Structure 1
Amino acid sequence: MATVVLAPNAFKGSLGAPAAAEALAAGWRSVRPADVLVPLPVADGGDGTLDAVEASGGGVRHLLDVPGPAGGTVTGPWLALPDGAALVELAAAGGLALADRSGPPDPARAALASTLGFGRAVRAAIEAGSDEVLLAVGGSASNDGGAGFLTALGARLLDAAGEPVPPGNAGLAVLHRVDVRGLVPLPVRGARILTDVTNPLLGPDGAAAVFGPQKGAGPVDLPVLERNLARLAEVLAGALPVDPCAAGAGAAGGLAFGAAAWGATIVDGAAEVARRVGLPGALVGADAVVTGEGRYDRQTTAGKAPERVRLLALAAGVAPLLVAGSIDAPTDGWRAAVALADLAGSASAAIGSPARFLEQAGARLAAEYGV
C-alpha cells in the first residue's frame, strides 16, 4: 500500500485543479484501490489559485460585482482565509478568459483593458477587515501597469487638465501626474504579489513585449504600449517610487509594478500556494506525488506549479509523476510522465474530454509506475 499525493495545477481552459485531482484519483484507485490518496490541488498565482487554496479546506468565498477587464460587469470573488488574510485572483476578476467572452483578442482591447475590477475586489477585502492581502496576478487581460488597480485603491491618475485619464494602457499616454493622498494604505501585515514570472516592466522582456501579443497586440502596437508603461513609471516615480527593472514587475501586464508601487512585495506564487495548501507537510511519508497542467514546456520548468511540486518531492524523497495535456520539454527529472494528447490521439480530443483522459492517465501511472 502506498500514499500518493495528487497535486495538479489547473488544466487551463479545460478543467480546474480540484476536478483534475478527482479524475486522477478515480483512475489511480481503479488500479490500486488499497493506496491512500491525498488530493491537494496547487496553483502558482494564475488561473485557479483561489480554487486550489479554497479546496485545501480554508477560507470563505465572497462575491461582488466589479467592472470587467473589457467593459461590463463581472463577479469578482475573493477568499477570506482563516489567518485573517485575503486572497484575490486577477484571473477571476480581470482575466484574459473573461475578456475573451466579449470577443477575440484585438489591439484595441489590449490597449483599453483595465485592472480596475481587480482593484475593487482587493479594496473590498481590505474594507472587510483583512489584515493581509495575497494578490494572485496570473492570467491578466490588461497591459495597464496596474493603473486601474491603483485607481480603485484611491489614487487619482490625472491628465494635464487635472481630469482622470481614460482606462487601460491607452489612457497612460496623457498621464501628467498622480495624486496619492486618497490611496488606501496597506493592511497591517502588508500585501504579497503571487506570480510565476520574473519579467521587468519595460524592455524586450517586459510587460508589453512579452505579454502584449497574448492579449491581441500586434508588432505595430507594442512600441505604443511600451511607451505608455514607461510614462507611468516616470510619473509614479515622484509619488510612489518603485524600480521598473525589478524582477516580476512586468507580471500581469505590469500590474505587479503598480501593486509594488502601492507597497506590495513580489513573491514566488507557486511556493506561496504550496505552503498555503500544506504541500510540504503532505509529502512527508508519501511515496509518490502526481502533478501537472495543461501544457508542460520550458515555461513550466521556469517556476510554475508542477516544477515547484517536483522540487519539493525530490527534497522529501518522494517520486514525482507528471501528467500534462501536452509535453513539449524534456521530462528527465520525473519518475514518469504521461501526455493526455497521446492518450486521446490529439490535443483537441484531450481538451474536449479532460476528465476522461486524466482518469486514464491516473490508471496508467498506477499500473506502470505505482510504488
Structure 2
Amino acid sequence: MTTPPPQAGHVVVALDSFKGSLSARRATAAVARGVRRGGAVVHEHPVADGGEGTLDALLAAGFTAVPVRSTDALGRPVEARYAVRDGVAVVELAETSGLGLVADVPPTPDRAAAASTFGVGLVIAAALDAGCAAVVVGLGGSATTDGGTGLLAGLGARLLDADGVALDATTSPLRAVRAVDRTGLHPRLGEAGLVVASDVDNPLLGPHGAAAVYGPQKGADAALVASLDADLARWADLLDPGAAAVPGAGAAGGTGFALLALGAEVRPGIDLVLELTGLADRLSGARLVIAGEGRLDHQTLRGKAPVGVATAARRAGATAVAATGSCDLDRAELATAGFADAFALTDLEPDVPTCLTHAEPLLERLGERIAAAFPGDRSPHDHG
C-alpha cells in the first residue's frame, strides 16, 4: 500500500494501544474522529513498540497477514499470524506465547514454570519456509521465562535431558535441559536476517534479569524466581555464555537471549515499527502529531511508542502532543520527552474504571479538545 501524499498542515494521530481497553487502531481512530470535527486534515497511523499490537500496526500500513497453526505458551493449539511485505516477515511473540492467551489459567508458579516459546519458533520457521529474506521478532507481553528453549526447539533444535533423551518443548523444557543438538536447526537461519524488536534492556540473569524483574508478573513466587534464574544460568552456559549479559537478553523471559545466540540483531522496537510503517512519510508537512498510550509514566520515557513518535515529530518540524488515559509526568518531563502538552481521559472523567469502559467516546472528546487547543487551517479533506 502506498501512503497517500500528505497535505501541508495536516494532523497525524499515531497512538499505541490502551491496554485493557482499546487496540492501537481503535484508539487512533477515536481521537482522529474528534480532531476531524475541528475541520483538520487527519492521517491515522496506529503504532506499537514491538510488543502486543505490532502486527495490527503493520497490517494497517500495508503488510499482509499469513496464518500459521501454532501453540500457545501452554502447548494448546492456536491460530497465529505473521505479517509480510517485500520479503520482510514480522512475528509477534504475543500471538503465540503471550499472557493474553493463557489468561484463562490462574497465574500460579505452575503456569509460570510451564510456559514455553515453542509456538514462536514454529511461526518463525513458517516464515523461513516461505523464503522470507528477513524475520523481525517483536518481543513483549510474554507469559514465558523459558530462556527461549521452546523457540529453539520450534526451529528444529533437539533439547536433551541428563540421559540424552529429547525433551518435549511444547511446555518449558528449561529445568530439564542439559544438552543442545543444533544439527536440525532450520537451514535458512544462517542466510535470513534475524532482528529482535524490543524496548527492554535487561540482561538474562541476576537482580535485573528475566526471572527477577518479570517473573512475578507471570505468576512466579520468590522460590520459583530463584530456581528460574539458576536454570537460565545453566542454559546460558550451554547455549552462548557471552550473550547472557547483552542488553535485551532478558526480554520476553529470556527469548531475547536465544535469538541473540542465533545471531539476531537487537533494535529498539518503536524505531523499527515506525520505520516499517513509514511514519516519516506521514509526517512530511504535518503541523501537529498526536501520540499516546493508556498511561504516560516514567516507563514511557524508556523508549516506549509515544516518545518514539514525539521524537520523529520533532525531526519533521511538527508539534507533538500526547493523548492518554492518565498522565504521571510533570510538564518538564513531558517537554523533555518532546511533548508540547498532554491530554488525559482522567481530565474528562476522574473515575478510572469508567475511563476503561468508555475509552472510545472519551477519546473522541479528547480529540475535540486537542483540535480546539491547536487549531489550523480548516479543510474538508482527510485521509485514513
TM-score using structure 1 length: 0.94
State the Cα deviation string for residues 28-51 of structure 1 (Å, max 9, x = none): 112x12x21111111110110000
Measured after TM superposition, the shift of residue 209 of structure 1 is 0.8
Match 1:60 to one of 56, 64, 84:
64
How far 1:105 sits from its partner (Å)? 1.4
CA contact (8 A) 1:143 1:168 kept: no
Deviations 1:158-214 (A, max 9, x none): 111111335489632222110000111426341100001111111111100111011
- How many angstroms does 1:284 deviate by? 2.0
Q: Indicate yes or no: 2:246 matched with 1:246.
A: yes
* Pair 1:368–1:259, CA change in 2 (3 A): same
| 2:193 aligned to which of 168, 190, 194 | 190
Structure 2 unaligned blocks of 5 or more: 1-7, 377-384
User: What are the within-5 Å matches in structure 2 for residues 1-371 of structure 1?
Assistant: 2-30=9-37, 32-33=38-39, 35-57=40-62, 59-81=63-85, 83-100=86-103, 102-165=104-167, 167=169, 171-184=173-186, 185-186=188-189, 188-237=191-240, 242-331=242-331, 332-333=334-335, 334-371=339-376
Match of 1:87, SS?
Answer: strand
Contact 2:116–2:172 (CA under 8 A) maintained in structure 1? no
Task: Find the counterpart in structure 1 of residue 5 from structure 2.
Answer: none
Mapped partners of 1:25, 1:367: distance in 2? 13
Distance 1:224 1:211 in 2: 14
- Provide the identity percentage: 43
The runs of 5 or more residues in structure 1 that have no matched partner are: none
Are the counterparts in 2 of residues 7 and 39 from structure 1 also a CA contact under 8 Å?
Answer: yes
Q: Distance in 2 between matches of 1:247 and 1:168?
A: 27
Report if the CA contact (8 A) 2:109-2:224 is conserved: yes
Which one-letter code corresponds to 1:349 in the other structure? Answer: T
For residues 345 and 170 of structure 2, the distance between their equivalents in structure 1, rounded to whole angstroms, comes to 38
More off after superposition, 166-175 vs 276-285: 166-175
User: 1:235: how far off?
Assistant: 1.1
- For the structure 1 residues 105 and 42, does the alpha-carbon distance in structure 2 shift closer, same or farther, using more than 3 Å as the test? same
Could you say what secondary structure the match of 2:259 adopts?
A: helix
CA shift, 1:346, in A, is: 1.9
State how far apart, in whole Å, the 2-side matches of 1:90 and 1:172 are: 18
Tell me, in whole angstroms, the C-alpha distance in 1 between the residues paired with 2:263 and 2:251: 16
Deviation at 1:103, TM superposition (A): 2.3
Secondary structure in structure 1 of the residue aligned to 2:81: strand
Q: Distance in 1 between matches of 2:126 and 2:29?
A: 32
- 1:281-317 deviations in Å (ceiling 9; x for gaps): 2222110100111121111110011011111112222
Letter in 2 for 1:24: V
Residues 167, 182 of structure 1: CA spacing in aligned structure 2 closer, same or farther, 3 A cutoff? closer
Q: Residues of 2 paired with 1:5 and 1:14: CA distance?
A: 22
Instruction: Tell me if structure 2 keeps the 8 A contact 1:12–1:47.
Output: no
Contact 1:54/1:79, CA 8 A, preserved across alignment: yes
Q: Which residue pairs with 2:4 in the alignment?
A: none
CA distance in 1, matches of 2:105, 2:348: 32
Give the drift of 1:330: 2.7
Q: Name the aligned partner's letter for residue 79 of structure 1.
A: A
Q: Check conservation: 1:143, 1:169, Cα contact below 8 A.
A: no
Contact 2:150 2:173 in 1 (8 A): no
Change (3 A) 1:335 1:98: same
Structural RMSD (CA): 1.6
Q: Counterpart of 1:341 in structure 2: which amino acid?
A: T
Q: Deviations over 1:127-184 (max 9, x none)?
A: 0111110101111110001111000001111111111335489632222110000111
Question: How far did 1:243 drift?
Answer: 1.6
Contact 1:201 1:245 in 2 (8 A): yes
TM-fit CA distance, 1:65:
2.1
CA distance in 1, matches of 2:346, 2:110: 34
Q: Using a 3 Å threshold, how does the CA distance of structure 1 residues 188 and 108 change in structure 2: closer, same or farther?
A: same
State the alpha-carbon separation in 2 of the partners of residues 356 and 219 from structure 1: 42
